[in-house]
Every structure is written in C-alpha cells, then in structure tokens.
Amino acid sequence: MTVVKNICCIGAGYVGGPTCAVLAYKCPDIKVTIVDLSEARIAAWNSSHLPIYEPGLDEVVFECRGKNLFFSTDVDAAIQEADLIFVSVNTPTKKTGMGAGMAADLAYVESATRRIAQVAQSSKIVVEKSTVPCRTAQSMRTILDANSTPEIHFDILSNPEFLAEGTAIKDLLNPDRVLIGALQTESGIEAQNALVDVYTHWVPKDRVITTNLWSSELSKLAANAMLAQRISSINALSAICEATGADVDEVAFACGKDTRLGSKFLKASVGFGGSCFQKDILNLVYLSRQLNLPEVADYWQQVVTMNEYQKSRFVRHIISTLFNTITNKKIAVLGFAFKKDTGDTRESAAITLIKDFMQENARVAVYDPKVEAEQIYMDLAEPDVEKKVTICASAYEAAEGADAVVIVTEWDEFRDDQLDYTKIYAGMNKPAFLFDGRLLVDAAKLRKIGFKVSVIGKNE
Ligand code: NAD
Ligand code: UGA
C-alpha cells in the first residue's frame, strides 16, 4: 500500500495555492510544497499579502506556512522530494496555430511533465489537477514512460478541481465530491487509493468518487459546460422576460422549485465570466469537432454565443436608454471582478462592457473593492485608456457627476441596504440612470429616490 508523505504542487495559482494550502491544513502528517516559475508569485505567497484574495485563505495559509506548507521556486528539489505531484498549471485557450481560439494550450502541462520526467530520481504519482481535454493523461504518460526505468515508475491520476473562486476555501473544506480517475491497472488503482487516503483525512469517503481516467477528465469539462449552460438558458429567458413583462427572478424561482431542476445557477446576469467556463466549453466544442461530431459541437458553442449576446444586448440597451448616445457622458461602472469575493478579472463581463463604452467615446469611472488599478488598465489594454477610464476609490467617487451607474459585479457593498443610493443620486447628472446587470438592488426603492432603473430580465 502506498502512503503519501510528501506532496509537491506545480503551479501556485488560483487552484494550486488554495487547494494545496487546505490539503496541508487538513493533513499535518504530509509535507506540502507549492512551486512556481514566477518568483513574484512565490514571494507574495511567502509574504503577509497573498497574491490571491479568497475569503478564509489567509487563515489557512498563515496557520500552516513554515510548518508543513512551503512555497518555493525550486521546482526540481520539490519534484525530487515528493511521492505525489499535482500538476496545477494554467491551460488557457490557444492564441495561435492549430485550434487557435478554441483548443486548450497544453504547453505548460507538457513542460511541467517533461520537468518531472527529467529530474525524478524515484517513483512518483503524477496528478493532473489542471483542467485538460479528454485523453491528455495519455500524452503525459507517453512523456513519463519514455523516461521511466526499472527503478522509476510513474502513475498518472486525473483529479480535476471543482472549487469556485470566492468560495474556494469553503468548497475545498466541504466539497460536494472529489473525483479521482485512474487507469484500471493494478498500479493505477494502488495510486488512486493512495490519493483517496489523502482526501479522506477530511472528506467523507462516500464523496470521493473513483472512475477511469477518461471519465474523470471529461466530467470536469462536462460539469463546467452544464453549469454555464444553465446561466445561458436563464439569460436567454431574460431577453424574453424584458420583451413580455415576465420577471426573470420569478421565472427562475418557479423553475428552480422543481427538484429535478434545482435553484442554483439560475441567476440571470450580464453574462458569465471567469477563467474557465468559456475556455472549457470551447475546449469541448473543439474536441467534438475533432471527433467528427458537428451537431454536438454546435450545441455547446451556443452556450458561449448566448453569453456574448447577453453582454452586447446589455450595452445596446444602455446606449439606447441614454438617448442613443453616450459620447462624452460619464458612466460609473460598479465592479470589475468577474464575480464577488474575488479579485480575479479573467474574462470578466466588465472588460467587454467598458471596451464598448470606450468605443462610443464615453468617459468611464470604475470602482471595484478588490481589483487594483494596474490590473484594470492591463485588462482594458487600449491606447489612451488612462485618459478614458478613471479608477476610483469608492462607488460615491465613481458616481459623482455620472449620467449612469452600471452594476456589473454583485459585491455585497453595492446592495441598496449597504450603499447610500440617496447620496449617489444627489451627486449624479439628471436624469440619473441605473442599470443593474446583477439583479442586486430593489428597483422600486431606487425609483422612489428618483433613479431611472433598468434591471436585466425585468421590464417595469
Ligand atoms: P493560474 O494562472 O492562476 O496559475 C497557474 C500557475 O502555474 C501560474 O502561476 C504559472 O506561473 C504556473 N506555471 C505554469 N507553468 C509552470 C511550470 N512549468 N512550472 C511551474 N509553474 C508553472 O491558473 P489557475 O486559475 O490556478 O488554473 C490552473 C488550472 O486549474 C487550469 O487548468 C484551470 O482550468 C483549472 N481550474 C481553475 C479554477 C479556478 O477557479 N481558477 C477552478 C478549477 C480548475
Ligand atoms: C466555475 C465553477 O463553478 C467551478 O465548479 C469550477 O471549478 C470553476 O468554474 C473552474 O473550473 O474554473 P468560477 O468560474 O470560479 O467557478 O465561479 P462561478 O461561481 O461558477 O461563476 C462563474 C460566472 O458565472 C461568474 O461570472 C458568475 O457571476 C456567473 N454566474 C454564476 C451567473 O451569472 N449566474 C449564476 O447563477 C451563477
């Protein structure tokens, strides 16, 4: 029976950092070293200002760091020491070459795997933690097998991560399930059991699912595709609501009460963002096309198409409401992160919206409680962006002199019981418009203050 005593995690990002920090927290008998090529990222993990904002993360890291949790740039040493290695590197959508704009770029997975093959001096269990196309483990196996010897053997597991940002620590401490896929060989199953034993330090055994490798890889893409599909479904209905007078919150509530449907992931919005939904669906679309399944590819593609439509529909509505022009008007954008409780901005709807506002020559003022100004400017990456977009220190500052306030991220502090909308209204140009892209505020209450309010999926 293999007992894991020393774990290395390659990739100290949004997944590797929190996942392995919780693992160290729950398994004091295991030494965990998280490594990354980025010196700046590792320095931040070793500082008092962690590189990622996640509720509860600081407590977990500060409790274990220096005891059984270490952050390092010495990738080779950590690989050599470990019995089990998580590969938790980024797998972005390819920008150029074959499959550009659709397929996952597996260059980072490949280089991490090659590094393991080159420097390992003993047998290892190598765990795919990154989200990858179905059958990636086969490529990793080919690289590792080419470097194995009678003394050094590699087993490969797939253990996709299902945490959501903003609730990562909660999700990791109490996951709905942990999924571990392995080749159904004697040594594959032994490696699978070794990882099961790590997770059952804190996860009830009936929530640790074991499957074959390919089911595990595909389940991750499938789960993200189905979650995003629900959002695109409710967003498609939000357009019908606006045209008919149905209320999308009421429709979601009524549908969600059906236990076969369930109530989660039915919140209409300005469009889903985040680093994974779009990337993973495009990945599934690409895989389907490669497998010569064009109808399947078209089906999943529509989830992304609907998301793009939702964003552009919202922008068009704002412009038409503001008398068909926003040139020189000031638009206050509340929120830049792709969801609340994270500083992550990857694929945030705010980026698309603000770029569209800039195209129309509006003056944009942005406030987000957790996103730094440099990050916002980097994401907008347009010439003269600093002249067109101002980053503000509060919602009040952003709304001062604005023609419209647009709620893009559902931060609690933008709720009408937390933000003083009377004060916001007083500082705005009149008529003062408010566009709620998150169904966050009580529109009737704000109308009483004097705002002209538009809410996604409502036509009041
Ligand atoms: P990230 O970009 O935040 O982190 C990846 C890290 O890997 C970076 O810091 C990078 O420097 C490092 N890296 C890349 N190549 C390396 C190498 N060869 N050696 C050492 N370090 C290397 O990415 P992330 O958000 O943590 O996502 C990682 C994977 O997890 C992706 O496949 C993603 O799809 C998946 N995932 C992400 C989330 C999420 O919420 N962000 C959730 C579930 C799954
Ligand atoms: C998502 C999945 O929820 C995780 O299970 C998965 O591990 C992760 O992707 C991943 O693979 O990266 P994440 O993107 O962090 O997690 O956050 P979500 O809570 O899923 O939100 C994604 C986007 O959908 C956000 O922009 C959010 O505002 C939006 N959303 C979510 C809605 O518009 N409506 C909803 O009802 C739910």
pLDDT given at position 150: 86
pTM: 0.97
Residue whose C-alpha is closest to residue 34's, from 95, 112, 97: 112
Å from CA of 181 to ligand 2 middle: 23
Neighbours of 328 (CB within 10 A): 10
With a 6 Å cutoff on the Cβ, whether 88 touches ligand 2 is no
Å from CA of 43 to ligand 1 middle: 17
Residue 344 CA: nearest ligand 1 atom is 41
pLDDT given at position 383: 82
Q: What is the pLDDT of residues 221-241, one digit of tens each?
A: 999 999 999 999 999 999 999
Q: Are 169 and 60 in contact (CB under 8 A)?
A: yes
> Do the annotations mark residue 224 as ligand-binding?
yes
> Do the annotations mark residue 161 as ligand-binding?
yes
- The reply to whether 277-455 shares the fold of 6-203 is yes
pLDDT given at position 460: 80
Q: Are 314 and 404 in contact (CB under 8 A)?
A: no
Rounded Cα distance between 277 and 272, Å, is 8
> Per 3-state DSSP, what percentage of the chain is helix, strand, and coil (rounded to 5)?
45, 15, 40
Q: What is the pLDDT of residues 73-83, one digit of tens each?
A: 999 999 999 99
The number of CA neighbours under 13 Å toward the Cβ of 377 is 13
For residue 275, give the amino acid letter: S
Probe residue for ligand 1, chosen from 35, 36, 93 as the CB with the greatest number of ligand atoms within 8 Å: 36
ipTM of the complex: 0.98
Q: What is the pLDDT of residues 162-185, one digit of tens each?
A: 999 999 999 999 999 999 999 999
Å from CA of 289 to ligand 2 middle: 25
Residue 163 CA: nearest ligand 2 atom is 7
Q: Which ligand is nearest to the CA of 129?
A: 1
276 is catalytic: yes
Nearest CA to ligand 2 atom 34: 267
Å from CA of 288 to ligand 1 middle: 24
Choosing from 9, 20, 276, 392, the catalytic residue is 276
> Do the annotations mark residue 4 as ligand-binding?
no
User: What's 277-455's CATH class?
Assistant: alpha beta
- Please give the DSSP secondary-structure letter assigned to residue 297: H
Residues with C-beta less than 6 Å from any ligand 1 atom: 10-16, 35-38, 41, 75, 88-91, 108, 111-112, 130-131, 161, 163, 165, 275-276
Rounded Cα distance between 387 and 15, Å, is 35
Å from CA of 228 to ligand 2 middle: 8
Rounded Cα distance between 409 and 438, Å, is 7
Probe residue for ligand 2, chosen from 265, 339, 353, 439 as the CB with the greatest number of ligand atoms within 8 Å: 339
Q: Which residues of 386-398 are buried (b: 16+ CB within 10 A; e: fewer)?
A: eebbbbbeebbeb
Q: In CATH terms, is domain 6-203 a member of 3.40.50.720?
A: yes
Å from CA of 250 to ligand 1 middle: 38
Contacts of 244 (CB under 8 A, 6+ apart): 459
Q: Residues in the chain with pLDDT < 50? A: none
Neighbours of 176 (CB within 10 A): 8
pLDDT given at position 349: 98
Probe residue for ligand 2, chosen from 221, 231, 282 as the CB with the greatest number of ligand atoms within 8 Å: 231
> Do the annotations mark residue 222 as ligand-binding?
yes
pLDDT given at position 369: 97
Beta strand 178-182 with 154-158: parallel, antiparallel or unpaired?
antiparallel
Å from CA of 225 to ligand 2 middle: 11
Q: What is the pLDDT of residues 350-384, one digit of tens each?
A: 999 999 999 999 999 999 999 999 999 999 998 88
pLDDT given at position 15: 98
pLDDT given at position 131: 96
Residue 275 CA: nearest ligand 1 atom is 41
Probe residue for ligand 1, chosen from 50, 89, 111, 224 as the CB with the greatest number of ligand atoms within 8 Å: 89
> Do the annotations mark residue 338 as ligand-binding?
yes
Nearest CA to ligand 1 atom 43: 161
With a 6 Å cutoff on the Cβ, whether 231 touches ligand 2 is yes
Instruction: Spell out the domain ranges in the chain.
Output: 6-203, 277-455
Share of the chain above pLDDT 90, in %: 97
> Do the annotations mark residue 363 as ligand-binding?
no
